Every structure is written in C-alpha cells, then in structure tokens.
C-alpha cells in the first residue's frame, strides 16, 4: 500500500486505517456520526492526498480537454473550475473529475479519482494527438480538504489570499501557511462549504501545512475526519461516487448528470449520449428513503409491489443528519417518480421505501 504525506499523523492519532485505492487511508477516528456532525456544524479535515492530479499544457490543451470531457471547458477562465466526466466510446463514464483553469487556453489541472489514475491517464493520453504537454503530478501532490461552515474562517488566518469570499468552483494560488504555490479551491465533496488545499509534497511542506491548519482550527473544535464520514456527507447531498453510482456502464444522462453534458461541442460518444438525452433512458438514478427499518446497501435489489425486480441500490447509509436510512438506486423509468413506493430486498425480505428528491439534506 502507498502512504500519503500524512499517514504517520493518522497512525499517531489512532485512526482506524484501511486500504483504499491502493493507499493506507484513515476510515474513522472517533466514530462516523461524531465526525459527520463536526463537518456539518463546524469544520473537519480530510486527507485526500490519494486523489490524482494531471497538468495539461500548451496551445492544444483546451482542445484535448474538450474532446475527452462532457462539460464545456471553454467557459473556464483563470481561477475557475468545473465538474465534468470522461465518457467512454459507448456512452458510459470512464471517470468523473474536476477541471481547473490555471491559465486560459494554456494550462489546466485535472483532478481525478484515486482508483482511476492510471486508467484516466491512459485514456486521455490515447486521445492526445496534438502533442499536448501532460504531467502526472499525483505522487508529488498533497491535498487536504478542510470542510464545514467554519472552515474558511479558520483557514483565512493562514494566508493573505481571500478565502472567506471564495466562490463555489473557483480557486486562488499563492502562499498558504508559509508554503508557496499552494492552490486553495472551493470545490468540496461534502456540501458543507470549505476549501481544498493542494501543495507540492516536498521538504517540510506537509508538516508545515498540517501543523498550521490544526493550529488554526483545533482550538475551535475542528477535527481530523475519515473517509467513512466523507461518504455519509456526500451521500446526503446526492453526490455520485465513482464505482458505486457511476461507472463504465452508466450514462451521464441516466445518472442525472445532464447538467455537465454540453452538446454545443464534440466529444467522445457524443452521438450516443445525445441519443440518451433525446430519446430518454430505460432507467434513472433516484434518491430513496427507507420506510421500513433497514439500511439499503450497494447492489441490493429494488423491487416493485408485485415483487418484480426494477433496479438496484448503488449507495446507502443511515443519515446522521436525518436519523433515517437513505440511498441512491437505479430504477426503471416508470418507477422513478418522486413518491413512488419501492421495496429493497434485504436478506430475502422486501422492505418498503419511497423515491425522494435529491439532495436529501439542503
């Protein structure tokens, strides 16, 4: 297993560790519920240094990004970012990612899922027909996500960059906690507000940033948070997790990602996905809330009242905020309307649930 720049910190803090995407990652420290509420109500720090980062440079960099992603990156200017996905040749999703515009039309950073770094690199490289300069900086980039309503207030004390007024899906670059060339963005995966801190993992940069971040926030109750609470937080907001809710077999349209799919440009399998948009899809990703007691889990079958199989659960948990079980599932189009009664097969029992609007938590 690989380590992040902060693995020793997690171990020293007694975190429950496990392998995730090839890395030794903290799953929880004091418990999922406590960590979840810390982020929702105050601020918490996630080590997400396992994520992948690619730099694309040159006069054809934007053209390459436009051809391999569904969103329209030509709308980006310096300091702006967008959520997008890489479609495969069949209308499925290679990965979802973030596109950061470092310098308009010249330099971009792509942030991809840890489990897909090699896959994404090979996919983008296979479409690089105009010699775009590509750099995989994943192994030398550290990343902390400081999330929660109080996060920017605490982090502002560590930099002259304006973080308090940082708009959603924008970023700044400068000195942070005494470290130069740090990117601080507002593209969080928890829906609780906050920032992400990207830095070059060299010298004592990681030590400086970790010490400063906790020095600023810990006196106010900010705590380290594991990946388990990250999952409950993102699910409450209905954010997709690659490998669960979206993958190579799911269309952006059926996954509810039509808003990041722009047909004003050409991209891989555009015709296929445009067909999904025009003609509709046989299934759709919906939110579900349990009526009967039980938790929907990944790959549990979904049935209608007659016992017919109509889909499957992609993600599910007990929501710490709502105090009830929630999940995401692909169901047939006919059963996807809000309020529809459905049943989740749990250990051969059909437990009642209903289709609800996403996000689960505003």
pLDDT at position 78: 98
The arithmetic mean of pLDDT across residues 164-187, rounded, is 98
What is 199-238 written as a DSSP string? EE--TTHHHHHHHHHHHHHGGGT-EE--HHHHHHHHHHTT
- For 54-77, b/e burial (b = at least 16 CB within 10 A) is bbbebebbbbbbbbbbbbbbbebe
pLDDT at position 265: 98
Q: Is residue 343's pLDDT more than 90?
A: yes
In the chain, domain spans: 7-49+139-236, 282-356
Class of domain 7-49+139-236: alpha beta
How far CA 242 is from CA of 161, 239, 359, in Å, comes to 32, 10, 18
Condensed to tens digits (0 to 9), the pLDDT of residues 155-171 reads 999 999 999 999 999 99
Q: Is residue 44's pLDDT more than 90?
A: yes
Q: How many helices (H) and strands (E) does the chain have?
A: 8, 19
Centroid of chain to Cα 171: 17
The arithmetic mean of pLDDT across residues 251-275, rounded, is 98
- In this structure, are strands 171-176 and 23-28 parallel, antiparallel, or unpaired? unpaired
pLDDT at position 252: 98
Hey, what CATH topology would domain 282-356 get?
Elongation Factor Tu (Ef-tu); domain 3 (2.40.30)
How far CA 94 is from CA of 85, 99, 117, 250, 282, in Å, comes to 7, 15, 11, 10, 21
Condensed to tens digits (0 to 9), the pLDDT of residues 104-142 reads 999 999 999 999 999 999 999 999 999 999 999 999 999
- In this structure, are strands 44-47 and 223-224 parallel, antiparallel, or unpaired? parallel
What is the rounded average pLDDT for all residues in the chain? 98
pTM, to two decimals: 0.97
pLDDT at position 348: 87
Condensed to tens digits (0 to 9), the pLDDT of residues 54-110 reads 999 999 999 999 999 999 999 999 999 999 999 999 999 999 999 999 999 999 999
Neighbour-count burial of 97, counting CB atoms closer than 10 A to its CB (0-12 exposed, 13-18 middle, 19+ buried): buried
Distance in angstroms (rounded) separating the CA atoms of residues 152 and 154: 5
The arithmetic mean of pLDDT across residues 325-348, rounded, is 97
The arithmetic mean of pLDDT across residues 257-275, rounded, is 98
The arithmetic mean of pLDDT across residues 316-331, rounded, is 98
pLDDT at position 26: 98
């Amino acid at each position: 297993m690989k380590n992040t720049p902060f693995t020793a910190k997690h171990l020293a803090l007694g975190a429950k560790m496990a392998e995730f995407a090839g890395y030794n990652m903290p799953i929880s420290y004091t418990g999922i519920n406590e960590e979840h509420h810390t982020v929702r109500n105050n601020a918490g720090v996630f080590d997400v240094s396992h994520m992948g980062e690619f730099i694309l440079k040159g006069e054809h960099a934007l053209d390459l990004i436009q051809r391999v992603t569904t969103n329209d990156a030509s709308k980006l200017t310096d300091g702006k970012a967008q959520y997008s996905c890489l479609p495969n040749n069949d209308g499925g999703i290679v990965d979802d990612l973030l596109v950061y515009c470092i310098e308009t039309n010249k330099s971009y950073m792509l942030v991809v899922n840890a489990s897909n770094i090699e896959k994404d690199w090979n996919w983008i490289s296979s479409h690089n027909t105009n010699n775009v300069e590509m750099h995989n900086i994943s192994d030398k980039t550290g990343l902390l996500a400081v999330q929660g309503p109080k996060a920017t207030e605490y982090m502002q004390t560590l930099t002259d960059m304006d973080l308090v007024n940082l708009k959603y899906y924008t970023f700044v670059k400068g000195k942070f906690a005494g470290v130069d060339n740090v990117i601080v963005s507002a593209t969080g995966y928890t829906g609780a507000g906050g920032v992400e801190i990207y830095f070059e993992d060299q010298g004592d940069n990681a030590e400086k940033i970790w010490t400063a971040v906790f020095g600023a926030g810990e006196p106010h109750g900010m705590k380290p948070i594991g990946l388990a609470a990250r999952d409950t937080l993102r699910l409450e907001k209905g954010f997709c997790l690659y490998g669960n809710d979206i993958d190579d077999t799911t269309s952006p349209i059926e996954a509810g990602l039509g808003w990041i799919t722009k047909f004003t440009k050409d991209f891989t399998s555009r015709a296929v996905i445009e067909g999904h948009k025009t003609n509709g899809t046989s299934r759709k990703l919906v939110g579900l809330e349990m009526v009967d007691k039980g938790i929907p889990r990944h790959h549990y079958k979904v049935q209608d009242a007659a016992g017919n199989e109509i889909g499957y659960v992609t993600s599910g948990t007990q929501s710490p905020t709502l105090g009830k079980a929630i999940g995401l599932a692909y169901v047939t189009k006919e059963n996807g309307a809000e309020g529809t009664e459905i049943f989740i097969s749990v250990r051969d029992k059909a437990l009642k649930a209903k289709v609800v609007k996403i996000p689960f938590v505003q």
